[in-house]
């Protein structure tokens, strides 16, 4: 389905396609864009699902422009080189766009790009302190980067505190490695680095895949565990993907380097929990 190696090869081969083309494999592009919230065909049972055909129609062109705008690319509406390159990068599995984003809280932050999940779910005031635990398959050597990420969010928010516990069944937040289908159309494989749910689910998965190399601290051709943890903890607390490329909540995560919170991330968490009063 989404983000398979076969799908990536297809997207690469389709570079240069534009509206009016009918090329085998274009349905993979449609599925990719639908998975991340850019494409939502309205079809009836009497018609074939447009996601299953290979026609480059107006809806696909509009979806590509939306994707390009979100990622600060030239909005050509075609599968040009920069767009294909962006789509081939490993990323967070959480969709970028939903149909009912709540932007009301952002009225006083016109220059900000942070987003919340639909209906702005958040932890109740009784849960300013959250416990977290690791799954049985989680390597001990990978614990310190996540501890550090929680400390960073605690300091940045000035609101949350976190503590590690041993019992994952009773912890508020649960961190583990997992691969394959986790439900809801999400498949953890080599192009989906991690996935975390909005409050108050509390589940955070790193992807376990032989094609993904993890590192404690930045390392060539590896993904920094702490950087990815910072991003996914943001989801656990209620932040959705930001349109600010410098924010930790940007949807694509860098390989071979570390990244931290920026002002957009901090403004976002404070706005969500009304901490600016």
Q: Measured between alpha carbons, how far is 143 from 95 in angstroms, rounded to an integer?
A: 27
Q: Measured between alpha carbons, how far is 46 from 43 in angstroms, rounded to an integer?
A: 8
140 and 238 part of one domain: yes
142 and 251 part of one domain: yes
Please state the domain count of the chain.
Answer: 2
Name the one residue in this structure whose structure tokens are 């300013």: 128
147 and 175 part of one domain: yes
Return the pLDDT at 199.
Answer: 98
Q: Residue 136, by phi and psi: left (phi above 0), alpha (psi -120 to 50) or beta?
A: alpha
Which pLDDT band, with edges at 50, 70 and 90, does 109 fall under?
A: very low
65 and 128 part of one domain: no
Q: Measured between alpha carbons, how far is 246 from 21 in angstroms, rounded to an integer?
A: 35
Partners of residue 205 on adjacent β-strands: 176, 195
82 and 109 part of one domain: no
128 and 228 part of one domain: yes
**12 three-class SS:** helix
Return the pLDDT at 85.
Answer: 92
Domain containing 23 equals: 5-88
Render pLDDT for 225-251 as a digit per residue (tens, 0 to 9): 999 999 999 999 999 999 999 999 999
Active site residues: 232
Return the pLDDT at 4.
Answer: 38
In degrees and rounded to multiples of 5, residue 192 shows phi and psi of: -115, 110
Rounded to an integer, the average pLDDT of 157-174 is 97
Domain finish residue from 88, 120, 140? 88
Residue 41, domain CATH: 1.10.101.10
Rounded to an integer, the average pLDDT of 212-219 is 96
157 and 23 part of one domain: no
Select the more confidently predicted residue: 154 or 276: 154
Residues 6+ apart with CB under 8 A from 3: 32, 35, 93, 187, 189, 190, 191, 192
- Let me know if residue 222 belongs to a domain: yes
Question: What is the 3 state secondary structure string of 173-202?
Answer: EEEEEECEEEECCEEECCCEEEEECCCCCC
- Dmax (CA) for the chain in angstroms is 57
130 and 235 part of one domain: yes
Q: Measured between alpha carbons, how far is 77 from 98 in angstroms, rounded to an integer?
A: 20
Output the pTM of the full model. 0.84
Q: Is the pLDDT of residue 180 over 50?
A: yes
Q: Measured between alpha carbons, how far is 196 from 46 in angstroms, rounded to an integer?
A: 36
Return the pLDDT at 47.
Answer: 52
Contact 36, 45 (CB under 8 A): no
- Let me know if residue 47 belongs to a domain: yes
Q: Is the pLDDT of residue 104 over 80?
A: no
173 and 262 part of one domain: yes
Rounded to an integer, the average pLDDT of 44-71 is 83
Q: Measured between alpha carbons, how far is 160 from 151 in angstroms, rounded to an integer?
A: 9
CA 109 to chain centre: 22
Q: Is the pLDDT of residue 267 over 60?
A: yes
- Let me know if residue 95 belongs to a domain: no
Return the pLDDT at 105.
Answer: 35
Q: Which two tokens stand for residue 237?
A: 């607390």
In 3D space, the residue among 143, 172, 32, 152 whose CA is nearest the CA of residue 95 turns out to be: 32
E strand or H helix at 114, and its extent? none
Q: Measured between alpha carbons, how far is 158 from 106 in angstroms, rounded to an integer?
A: 20
Which pLDDT band, with edges at 50, 70 and 90, does 98 fall under?
A: low
Q: Which two tokens stand for residue 181?
A: 């289908």
Return the pLDDT at 97.
Answer: 78
Return the pLDDT at 50.
Answer: 73
Q: Is the pLDDT of residue 16 over 50?
A: yes
Classify each residue of 116-144 as buried b or exposed e, where b means 16 or more C-beta atoms within 10 Å of its C-beta: bbeebbbbeeeeeebbbbbeeebeeebee
In 3D space, the residue among 176, 253, 256, 249 whose CA is nearest the CA of residue 215 turns out to be: 256
Which pLDDT band, with edges at 50, 70 and 90, does 277 fall under?
A: low
Q: Is the pLDDT of residue 100 over 60?
A: no
Torsional sign, CA 228, 260, 128, 120: negative
Residue 150, domain CATH: 3.40.390.10
Q: Across all residues in the chain, what is the average pLDDT? A: 88
- Which range has the worst mean pLDDT, 40-44, 86-90, 122-126, 182-186? 40-44
Q: Which two tokens stand for residue 157?
A: 């928010």
Select the more confidently predicted residue: 51 or 95: 95
Name the one residue in this structure whose structure tokens are 């599968």: 79
71 and 116 part of one domain: no
Domain finish residue from 30, 62, 88? 88
């Amino acid at each position: 389905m989404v983000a398979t190696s076969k799908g990536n090869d297809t997207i690469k081969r389709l570079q240069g396609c534009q509206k009016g083309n009918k090329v085998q494999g274009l349905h993979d592009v449609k599925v990719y864009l639908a998975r991340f919230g850019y494409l939502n065909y309205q079809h009836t049972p009497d018609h074939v699902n447009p996601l299953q055909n290979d026609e480059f129609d107006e809806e696909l062109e509009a979806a590509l422009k939306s994707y390009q705008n979100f990622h600060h690319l030239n909005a050509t509406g075609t599968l040009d080189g920069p767009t294909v390159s962006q789509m081939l990068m490993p990323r967070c599995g959480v969709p970028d766009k939903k149909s009912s984003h709540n932007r009301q809280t952002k009225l006083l932050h016109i220059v900000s790009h942070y987003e919340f999940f639909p209906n702005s779910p958040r932890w109740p005031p009784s849960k300013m302190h959250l416990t977290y635990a690791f799954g049985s398959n989680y390597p001990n050597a990978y614990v310190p980067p996540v501890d550090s990420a929680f400390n960073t969010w605690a300091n940045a928010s000035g609101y949350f505190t976190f503590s590690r516990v041993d019992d994952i069944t009773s912890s508020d937040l649960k961190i583990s490695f997992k691969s394959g289908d986790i439900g809801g159309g999400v498949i953890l494989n080599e192009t989906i680095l991690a996935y975390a749910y909005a409050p108050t689910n509390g589940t955070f998965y790193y992807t376990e895949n032989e094609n993904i190399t993890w590192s404690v601290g930045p390392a060539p051709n590896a993904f920094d565990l702490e950087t990815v943890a910072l991003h996914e903890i943001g989801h656990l607390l209620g932040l959705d993907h930001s349109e600010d490329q410098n924010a930790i909540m940007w949807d694509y995560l860098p390989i071979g380097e570390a990244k931290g919170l920026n002002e957009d991330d901090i403004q976002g968490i404070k706005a969500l929990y009304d901490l600016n009063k």
